[in-house]
């Protein structure tokens, strides 16, 4: 998939527009109040309105720009890095630090093109050991080494 | 209290064994992480910040400041040795520094960077010590109206000095301000933008958000580059100690860079980046042999490094005296102060003089430590540069994850990090700078509070911002800046200034 400068501006503008509309809509639900005694919605409403204006400018300008050719977009790093981080959150309580670190490292290693699974496993084991040593033993972080499933 | 008393108080605070130790640890850790390719100072600070939470306020700020200088120095090292600048402002160092390294003068380039930074740091520390109390004195007389106007100016400035599209950056600031609003509104008790998530009622925590945007964001964008183009440094370091003649060559550019950097660094937008580019251009014009620039000119390293470091130092002034962070790094520092229960602002200097002067004195101590630290340790940094990225990035990821979970011990913060990692990656793809977002988020609650108070004071009349002279001037400056950038001819010159010499 390729993405060009024009479509970048257009996409950004549309995203800002959606966000601005959502912010403005929510702000109205919060109660706006008066300028003298501002309600909880007053400031967000201002921001939402401003964002909509900026979004419209971005969208309009995207049509006037010359297209400078596209850049390739790669989804693999996004998916695996975010997935690895999320798995840490999922594993830390039930499985504990050692397994969470190991799992995160192995999943994350799929993000790189030059994946070597054997290396990933080795790095995972080393990092699990190191983080237990440094963060739990030396720095005294209160993280369970083994989680609740191990009783 | 006189100037010398303040300095003495500060040095007394900075030279306690504990503070010296943590200043040293901060510099060491900062350099260690900052030297890793693809990690800028913002990412380094955010990764190491959780280590400082358990310390007492003064010590934790001293350590954070040390991390900041270390990260910057580490970034310059990487720029010189392997031509991978960790942040925009060390791209300038990379131009001539890397060429020097290729000519076998890596040692000289590194010591030039260290010595110029030290000169700049020393002078800039004095600048802060002289001007910060004055500015804080003025700021104490500011009311909510003036503060609101000042924050608007600061936010717009930070956008103007950043590179890229102005409108998109303004939109990012606005989004950031909205993110700052998340949580229970103090005045009305209404929950805003929490989507029913109970942990969000106290607001979005800065650490997981910044860790997602910068930590995960940088890993993703590094991995997204086509092929691994990193070259590991194989050459000799050469002699580290400069000769007397070389010292004489680096001094004038370092002093000029310091002057420019100190002045531009105080600007509400934080001008360290602009300062290093401007200094490079200036040195090139002043040089007897401008052709040597780009081919390993000593002056091309000394000037920008000094400017960058001086600017980094004086950018503390608006944060410490007005409570308004002007760069994303200062926003992180302000966030760390708030976590320690200190509201940055003009009262800090009066109510906690030991903290204020201790921090300033430790800036100088930190700069000195960096020089001492880097002469013997440069071999270690070179070794670090040979670690392949496929081993490095899982370690960085683990560091981010443990750092986030360590704050409150709740997996929820990890998911916040993931969400903002996605948001950060998305916006980077769309050429929207994430830094203004973080800046907006940190000062969002303050902007709303001051706006609310100003409007209450004026009984709902927005004209108060124009009838009060100080706020009128500040807002006029803001409008002037926006117009200046919006005009095509000036816009072009700004782009040229930021991209001079095709970096």
Q: Does B501 touch chain A (CB under 8 A)?
A: no
The residue written with tokens 């400068």 in the block is A5
DSSP one-letter code for B288: S
User: What are the Cα distances from residue B308, in Å, to B117, B252, B329?
Assistant: 8, 15, 14
Compare all CA atoms of chain B with the CA of A74 and give the residue at the minimum distance.
B224
Angstrom distance (rounded) from CA B25 to CA B17: 12
pLDDT of A2 over the 70 cut: no
| Sign of the CA dihedral with A18 first, then A23, A28, and A30 last | positive
The reply to whether B496 touches chain A by the CB within 8 Å rule is no
Nearest CA to CA, how far is B175 from chain A (Å)? Answer: 7
B239: buried, middle or exposed (CB in 10 Å: 19+, 13-18, 0-12)? middle
Residue A23 reports pLDDT greater than 90: yes
> Between residues A109 and A136, which one has the greater pLDDT?
A109
- Distance linking the first and last C-alpha atoms of chain B: 47
Question: By the 8 A CB rule, do B204 and B182 touch?
Answer: yes
Task: Please give, rounded to a whole number of angstroms, the shortest distance from the CA of B80 to a CA of chain A.
Answer: 26
Cβ distance B405 to A143 less than 8 Å, yes or no, reads yes
B354 CA: distance to closest CA in chain A (Å): 27
Model confidence at A17: pLDDT above 60: yes
Residue B234's φ and ψ, nearest 5 degrees, are: -115, -15
Report which of residues A12 and B154 the model is more confident about: A12
B187–chain A Cβ distance below 8 A for any pair: yes
Per-residue pLDDT tens, chain B, 503 aa: give them. Answer: 577 788 788 888 778 888 899 999 999 999 988 888 777 788 888 888 888 888 888 899 889 989 998 988 888 888 888 777 767 667 788 888 888 888 888 888 888 888 999 999 999 988 988 888 888 888 888 888 988 998 888 888 777 766 667 888 899 999 999 999 998 888 888 888 888 888 888 888 888 998 898 888 888 888 887 655 555 566 667 777 788 888 888 899 999 999 988 888 887 666 677 788 888 888 888 888 888 888 888 888 899 999 988 988 888 888 888 888 888 888 888 888 888 888 888 888 888 888 888 888 888 888 888 888 877 788 888 888 777 888 888 988 998 898 888 888 889 999 999 999 999 888 888 888 888 898 888 888 889 989 999 998 888 888 888 888 888 998 998 888 888 777 765 555 555 555 544 43
Is the pLDDT at A144 greater than 70, yes or no?
yes
Q: How far apart are CA B360 and CA B344, in angstroms?
A: 14
Average pLDDT over residues A78-100: 92
Write the CA distances from B187 to B46, B145, B201, B413, integer angstroms.
31, 19, 14, 26
Cα separation, B314 vs B312, whole angstroms: 6
pLDDT recorded at residue B501: 44
ipTM value: 0.91
How far, in Å, CA of B110 to CA of A70, rounded?
38
The structure's pTM equals 0.85
Of B170, B220, B390, the CB nearest to A54: B170
- CA B1 remoteness from chain centre: 30
A3: three-class secondary structure by DSSP: strand
With an 8 Å Cβ cutoff, is B430 touching chain A?
yes
* CA B260, chain centre distance (Å): 17
Which residues in chain A (110-149) have CB-CB distances under 8 A to chain B?
111-116, 119-120, 123-124, 127, 131, 135, 139, 141-143
Looking at residue B498, its pLDDT comes to: 56
Angle at which helices A76-92 and B389-408 pack, to 10 degrees? 40
CA-based nearest residue to A53, from B482, B125, B384: B482
Cβ–Cβ pairs < 8 A, chains A and B: 190
Angle at B231 between CA B378 and CA A73, to 5 degrees: 125
The pLDDT value given to residue B502:
40
Residue B413 has phi, psi (to 5 degrees) of: -65, -30
Supply the pLDDT for residue B503.
37
- Burial bucket for residue B396 (CB in 10 Å: 0-12, 13-18, 19+): buried
Distance CA A41, CA A43 (A): 6
Closest-CA distance of chain A to residue B64, Å: 17
Where b means 16+ CB within 10 Å and e means fewer, B46-64 reads bbbbbbbeebebbbbbbbb
What CA dihedral angle connects B281, B282, B284 and B289, to 10 degrees? 170
Handedness of CA B123, B438, B157, B321 (dihedral sign): negative
- Give how many domains chain B has, as a whole number: 1
Domain ranges of chain A: 2-72, 76-150
* Contact indicator for B277, B268 with CB cutoff of 8 Å: no
Q: Which residue in chain B has the smallest CA separation from A93?
A: B411
| DSSP H helical ranges for chain A | 5-30, 42-64, 76-92, 97-109, 117-131
| % of chain A residues with pLDDT over 70 | 89
């Amino acid at each position: 998939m390729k993405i060009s400068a024009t479509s970048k501006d257009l996409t950004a503008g549309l995203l800002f527009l959606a966000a601005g509309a959502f912010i403005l809509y929510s702000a109205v639900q919060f109660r706006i109040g008066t300028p003298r005694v501002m309600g909880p919605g007053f400031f967000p409403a201002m921001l939402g309105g401003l964002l909509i204006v900026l979004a419209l400018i971005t969208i309009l300008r995207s049509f006037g720009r010359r297209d400078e050719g596209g850049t390739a977009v790669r989804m693999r790093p996004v998916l695996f890095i975010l997935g690895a981080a999320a798995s840490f959150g999922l594993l830390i309580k039930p499985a504990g630090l050692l397994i969470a670190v190991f799992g995160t490292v192995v999943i994350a290693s799929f993000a790189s093109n030059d994946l070597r699974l054997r290396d990933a496993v080795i790095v995972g084991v080393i990092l699990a050991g190191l983080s237990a040593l440094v963060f739990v033993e030396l720095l005294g972080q209160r993280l369970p080494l083994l989680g609740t499933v191990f009783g | 209290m006189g100037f010398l008393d303040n300095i003495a108080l500060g040095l007394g605070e900075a030279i306690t064994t504990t503070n010296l130790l943590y200043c040293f640890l901060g510099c060491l850790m900062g350099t260690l992480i900052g030297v890793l390719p693809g990690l800028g100072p913002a990412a380094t600070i955010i990764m190491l910040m959780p280590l400082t939470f358990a310390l007492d306020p003064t010590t934790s700020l001293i350590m954070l400041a040390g991390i900041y200088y270390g990260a910057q120095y580490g970034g310059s090292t990487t720029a010189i040795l392997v031509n991978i600048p960790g942040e925009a402002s060390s791209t300038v160092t990379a131009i001539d520094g890397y060429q020097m390294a290729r000519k076998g003068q890596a040692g000289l380039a590194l010591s030039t960077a260290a010595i110029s930074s030290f000169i700049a740091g020393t002078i800039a520390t004095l600048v802060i010590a002289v001007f910060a109390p004055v500015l804080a004195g003025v700021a104490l007389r500011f009311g909510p109206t003036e503060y609101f106007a000042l924050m608007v100016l600061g936010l717009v400035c930070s956008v103007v000095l950043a590179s890229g599209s102005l409108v998109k950056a303004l939109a990012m600031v606005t989004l950031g301000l909205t993110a700052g609003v998340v949580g229970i509104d103090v005045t009305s008790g209404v929950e805003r933008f929490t989507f029913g998530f109970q942990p969000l009622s106290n607001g979005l925590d800065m650490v997981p958000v910044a860790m997602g945007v910068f930590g995960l964001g940088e890993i993703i964008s590094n991995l997204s580059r086509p092929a691994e183009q990193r070259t590991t440094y194989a050459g000799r370091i050469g002699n580290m100690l400069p000769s007397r003649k070389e010292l004489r060559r680096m001094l004038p550019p370092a002093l000029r860079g310091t002057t420019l950097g100190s002045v531009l660094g105080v600007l509400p937008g934080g001008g360290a980046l602009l300062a290093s580019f401007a200094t490079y251009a200036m040195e090139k014009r002043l040089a007897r042999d401008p052709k040597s620039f780009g081919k390993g000119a000593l002056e091309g390293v000394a000037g920008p490094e000094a400017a960058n470091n001086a600017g980094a130092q004086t950018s503390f002034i608006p944060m410490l005296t007005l409570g308004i962070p002007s760069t994303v790094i200062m926003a992180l520092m302000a966030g760390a102060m708030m976590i320690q229960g200190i509201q940055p602002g003009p009262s800090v200097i009066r109510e906690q003089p030991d903290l204020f002067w201790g921090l300033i004195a430790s800036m100088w101590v930190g700069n000195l430590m960096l020089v001492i630290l880097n002469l013997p340790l440069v071999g270690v940094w070179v070794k670090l540069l040979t670690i392949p990225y496929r081993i490095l990035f899982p370690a960085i990821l683990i560091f981010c994850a443990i750092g986030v979970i360590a704050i409150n011990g709740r997996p929820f913060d990890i998911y916040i990090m993931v969400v903002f990692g996605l948001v950060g990656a998305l916006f980077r793809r769309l050429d929207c700078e994430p830094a203004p977002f973080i800046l907006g988020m940190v000062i969002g609650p303050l902007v709303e509070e001051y706006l609310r108070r100003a409007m209450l004071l004026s009984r709902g009349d927005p004209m108060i911002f124009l009838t009060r002279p100080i706020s009128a001037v500040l807002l006029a400056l803001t409008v002037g800046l926006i117009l200046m950038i919006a005009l095509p001819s000036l816009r072009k010159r700004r782009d040229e200034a930021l991209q001079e010499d095709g970096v």
